[in-house]
């Protein structure tokens, strides 16, 4: 059974744009070879709330792909990021579609039917 995954990756923001694009393309190619790659969303460069590895800005990317759980692609992805010095942080999660929740409006107590009594 295929699962849908999302990987958020923060590349070092102090790198030139060409280097960031090259690193992003390399990971995209890695996903195309090992999974059913869907798309990449570029979130752009942003200043981080706190420094990570003495870096104050990062280039954010979201990669969406599908994979079978038996392949252990998550381990390969983790190894890919650990060996890449341009990656500051990453997180891969299983994508779950939002569930539709039915909202019920309380109607108060049920109406009481009046009993008709016969008087003799």
pLDDT tens, residue order, the chain (120 aa): 788 889 999 999 999 999 999 999 999 999 999 889 999 999 999 999 999 889 999 999 999 998 876 667 878 888 889 999 999 999 988 877 777 777 777 776 666 665 566 666
Sheet with 36-52, strands from edge to edge, namely: 36-52, 55-68, 2-12, 87-94
Q: What is the DSSP string of 88-117?
A: EEEEEEE--PPPP--------SPPPPPPP-
pLDDT at 116: 62
pLDDT at 105: 72
pLDDT at 119: 63
Helix axes 17-34, 73-83, angle to 10 degrees: 160
pLDDT at 87: 94
Taking phi first (over 0 means left), then psi (-120 to 50 degrees means alpha), and beta for anything else, what does residue 38 get? alpha
pLDDT at 97: 76
pLDDT at 111: 60
Which domains, from first to last, does the chain contain?
A: 2-57+64-93 (3.30.70.60)
pLDDT at 113: 62
How far out from the chain centre does Cα 19 lie? 24
pLDDT at 109: 66
């Amino acid at each position: 059974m295929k699962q849908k995954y999302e990987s958020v990756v923060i590349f070092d923001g102090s790198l030139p744009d060409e280097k960031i694009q090259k690193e992003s393309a390399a990971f995209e190619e890695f996903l195309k070879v090992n999974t059913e790659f869907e798309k990449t969303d570029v979130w752009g460069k942003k200043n981080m709330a706190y420094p990570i590895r003495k870096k104050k800005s990062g280039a954010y990317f979201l990669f969406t792909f599908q994979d079978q759980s038996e392949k252990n692609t998550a381990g390969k992805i983790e190894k890919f990021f650990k060996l890449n010095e341009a990656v500051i942080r990453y997180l891969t999660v299983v994508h779950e579609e939002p569930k539709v929740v039915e909202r019920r409006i309380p109607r108060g107590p049920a109406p009481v039917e009046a009993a008709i009594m016969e008087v003799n």
